[in-house]
Structure 1
Amino acid sequence: MNYGQVYYNDVANGVGCRTAFFVSGCTHHCKGCFNEMTWDFNYGVPYTKEVEDEIVESLKPDYIAGLTILGGEPMEIVNQKEIRPLLERIKREVPKATIWIYSGYTWEELTDKDNKRCHGEDTDAILSMTDVLVDGEFMLDKKDLMLRFRGSSNQRVIDVPQTLKSESVVLSKYNDRDESRKL
């Protein structure tokens, strides 16, 4: 797996001060994507043990709320192979860190065991370690700058633990509009 960037002390991609990890590779190719260069699975540099060590260490200070994984598409099957061990390590070494994942796949697609495009042997484990999933492709015609933590109104901010518990999608308290952005 390649990645394009790691942002330390990011405050735009989830609640609190976070580490944001932008993986490479995406087959959605959403019109108006803000990070089009990461569609290419070969974009950026290789993900290594040293990068993983830096990410895990970055999560340890008390002021860091957690890790956000975006891209590209973290939930492409090939990327899941690297994401799962990273999350397992974080859950062992930094259990206070919350995990946010941005995916162009919907919850329904990710949990459909017959959907081989995005559901593989690592998917359920990854979702079980995720606190918030922002799901759905970005749709330029539904772009809304007033939305918190998402770019278009079709996307959802999902409370994953509650969704797994109830077996139906439970929206996060962050799935709202940010009225403070009005000029």
Structure 2
Amino acid sequence: MNYHQYYPVDVVNGPGTRCTLFVSGCEHQCRGCYNQSTWRPDSGHPFTEDMAAQIIRDLNDPRIPRRGLTLSGGDPLHPANVADVLQLVKRVRESCPGKDIWLWTGYVLAELNPAQQAVVQLIDVLIDGKYIQAERDPSLNWRGSANQVIHYFDTNDVKC
């Protein structure tokens, strides 16, 4: 897996202060996408063990209380990313108790394959659906277009 950008402190991509990883690879290639540079799976930087360890350290750093991890892209559920995203999510679950995990994908929850479902079973919030420029709505929380759906899997999570 490759990634384009990592923000150890982010207050835009989900509630509270978060760590945000933008992965490479997206087969949806939505018209009007704001992150077209992430479409190619081989673009960006290799996601290494050092980067995974840095994310865990950042999530657990008491100097900046972080609510959780955001996974975006590109598409974290792109076939080239699923195995590494699954390992990262498992590691966050084991090493960062109390941190939530949000994930944005162009895929739709009902159509996910078993590997993608394995990732989704370990996250708290999924925002699914392709970005549709004709349904763009800047007033929506956490979504770019009205067709996208926010799925809350953790009943203790604050619904924003």
TM-score w.r.t. length of structure 1? 0.81
Asked whether the equivalents of residues 4 and 45 of structure 2 are also in contact (C-alpha less than 8 Å), the reply is: yes
Q: Per the alignment, in what secondary structure is the counterpart of residue 60 of structure 2?
A: coil
**1:123 Cα offset (Å):** 2.3
| Sequence identity (%) | 37
> Equivalent residue for 1:127?
120
Deviation track 1:81-134 (CA, whole Å, cap 9, x = no partner) reads 101111111111102110000000111112xxxxxxxx14x3232111110001
Q: Is the 8 A contact 1:128 1:161 kept in 2?
A: no
Please give the alpha-carbon distance, in whole angstroms, between the structure 2 residues aligned to 1:141 and 1:28: 16
Contact 1:2 1:46 (C-alpha < 8 Å) held by counterparts: yes
Letter of the aligned partner of 1:4 in structure 2? H
The more displaced of 146-155 and 60-69 is 60-69
Amino acid at match of 2:5: Q
Indicate the SS of the match to 1:105.
coil
Number of residue pairs matched?
156
Q: Which amino acid is 2:36 matched to? A: E
Contiguous gaps of at least 5 residues in structure 2: none
Larger relative contact order, structure 1 or 2 (CA cutoff 8 Å, min sep 6) = 2
Structure-2 residue corresponding to 1:146 = 139
1:8-49 deviations in Å (ceiling 9; x for gaps): 211111111001100000000000001001001111010000
**Correspondence for 1:18:** 18
1:80 alignment partner, one of 79, 82, 85: 82
Q: Which portions of structure 1, spanning 4 or more consecutive aligned residues, are displaced by more than 2 angstroms? A: 122-125
Report the aligned-residue RMSD: 1.3
Larger radius of gyration between Structure 1 and Structure 2: 1
Task: Give the TM-score normalised by the residue count of structure 2.
Answer: 0.93
Does the aligned pair in 2 maintain the 1:22–1:69 contact within 8 Å?
A: yes
Corresponding residue number in structure 1 for 2:101: 99
Which secondary structure does the structure 1 equivalent of 2:28 belong to?
coil
Question: What SS is found at the alignment partner of 2:101?
Answer: strand
Please give the alpha-carbon distance, in whole angstroms, between the structure 2 residues aligned to 1:137 and 1:161.
23
Cα distance in structure 2, aligned partners of 1:11 and 1:139: 24
Give 1:76 deviation, angstroms.
Answer: 1.2
Q: Distance in 2 between matches of 1:131 and 1:141?
A: 28
Question: Which residue matches 1:49?
Answer: 49
Task: Report the equivalent of 2:73.
Answer: 71
